[in-house]
Amino acid sequence: MRWYWIDRFIEFESGKHAKSVKNVSLAEEHLHDHFPGFPVMPGSLMIEGMAQTGGILLGEHYKFQYNVILAKVPKVTFHSWACPGDQLIYSAQLQDAREEGGSVTVTATVGERLVAEAEIVFVHLNSDDPQLSRIDQKNFVFRMNLLDILTVGKAGAGS
Amino acid sequence: MASADEIFVKVQETLVDALGVDDDEVTPTATLIGDLGAESIDFLDIVFRLEKNFDIKIPRGELFPENLATADSGFVADGKVTVEGIAQLRTKMPHADIDSFALNPVVSKLSDLFTVDMICKFVATRLK
């Protein structure tokens, strides 16, 4: 399985905000266990999708010269569910960006319905940082791997 | 110019939000790591929040200096910060209570320099 928790970007304003889409599908294996007979998108994966949206927004701001690491989720509130067939829209606003890291606020909505909102803090690590070797590369997605989503997003917007 | 009390109350709110602690835990003498359970990741979050709440700029390393008296800094001998190291701390952290630390400058107590009062003093200098 690929660790992509957003499907594509639909808006991207460098250094300001980004909007991505996540289509929830009953083909996702975990939904059959979460929960049997009542499939809902796990909140933890929603946080991951919000972090991928915000992490790319921050990473792009510095032209991907840093490895953007999800450091902290100071606040997250879930207001509602996201079920198969729902289209989640993650809207991230860049709040802070500096050499050491950055922070974003993100909302998740389905149509007019607010599903979740979060504050997320990221740190920057240089590629030669010894701490980086401790990170499981399989789950490290903020830099290059997710760039193709950005490309898809641009293509999808016709630009 | 905000009073010391006003600064404390805002710093208290900032730490309650950043660290998820109760406001009565955030006393002036509370240490961020020992008493309030802050981790290194939290320092950046605290800096972001202070900048916003006080409308100030906090350049990297000014409030929470990095690599203070590390093993290879040349400022540590026998697990204690040397006299030169203490002098460097005074320069880098004029907002911290170096005098108390200098009485028994063991490296393991270095993190106790990061107190709520230290943040308040730092913010006060930025608001002048």
Which domain CATH number covers A134?
3.10.129.10
Taking residues B69-91, what's their average pLDDT?
86
Tokens linked to B106 = 């063991």
Q: Is residue A158 part of a domain?
A: no
Mean pLDDT of chain A: 87
* Distance (Å, whole) CA B120 – CA B7: 6
Over residues A140-159, the pLDDT tens digits come to: 555 555 566 666 555 444 44
Contacts A72 to B, Cβ<8 Å: 41-42, 45
> pTM for the full model?
0.87
Query: Are A74 and B18 inside 8 Å of each other by CB?
Result: yes
Contacts A101 to B, Cβ<8 Å: 44
Contacts B18 to A, Cβ<8 Å: 74
Of the pLDDT bands very low, low, confident and very high (cuts 50, 70, 90), residue A4 is confident
Q: A8-13 and B76-77 as β-strands: parallel, antiparallel, unpaired? A: unpaired
Of the pLDDT bands very low, low, confident and very high (cuts 50, 70, 90), residue B97 is very high
Q: How many domains does chain B have?
A: 1
Q: Which residue of A has its CA nearest to B51?
A: A96
Q: How far is CA B123 from the centre of its chain?
A: 11
Query: Are A71 and B44 inside 8 Å of each other by CB?
Result: yes
Closest CA of chain A from B86, distance in Å: 26
pLDDT, position A140:
53
Over residues A49-105, the pLDDT tens digits come to: 999 999 999 999 998 888 899 999 999 999 999 999 999 999 999 999 999 999 999
A17 within 8 A of A57, measured Cβ to Cβ: yes
Q: Is the pLDDT of residue B125 over 90?
A: yes
Q: Is residue A127 part of a domain?
A: yes
Closest CA of chain A from B20, distance in Å: 8
Q: How many domains does chain A have?
A: 1
Highest mean pLDDT among A104-108, A130-134, B104-108: A104-108
ipTM (interface predicted TM): 0.85
Query: Are A103 and B48 inside 8 Å of each other by CB?
Result: yes
Q: If you write DSSP's letter for every residue of B52-118 in order, what string do you get?
A: HHHT----TTTSS-SSTT-GGGS-EETTEE-HHHHHHHHHH-TTS-HHHHHHS-BGGGGGGG-BHHH
Write the single-letter amino acid at A111: G
| Active site residue ranges of A | 34
> What CATH number did the domain enclosing B84 receive?
1.10.1200.10
Write the single-letter amino acid at A156: G
pLDDT, position B43:
95
pLDDT, position A32:
96
Host domain of residue A24:
8-152
Q: Is residue A159 part of a domain?
A: no
Q: Is the pLDDT of residue B24 over 50?
A: yes
* Distance (Å, whole) CA A122 – CA B44: 9
Host domain of residue B78:
4-127
b/e string for A106-128 if b means 16 or more Cβ within 10 A?
Answer: bbbbbeeeebbbbbbbbbbbeee
Q: Between A75, A95, A101, which is nearest B44 by CB?
A: A101
How many C-beta neighbours within 10 Å does residue B91 have? Answer: 9
Closest CA of chain A from B66, distance in Å: 11
* Distance (Å, whole) CA B75 – CA B90: 13
Token look-up 């009542």 returns A38
B100 within 8 A of B115, measured Cβ to Cβ: no
Query: Are A100 and B60 inside 8 Å of each other by CB?
Result: yes
Q: Which residue of A has its CA nearest to B45?
A: A121
A104 within 8 A of A92, measured Cβ to Cβ: yes
* Distance (Å, whole) CA B106 – CA B40: 20
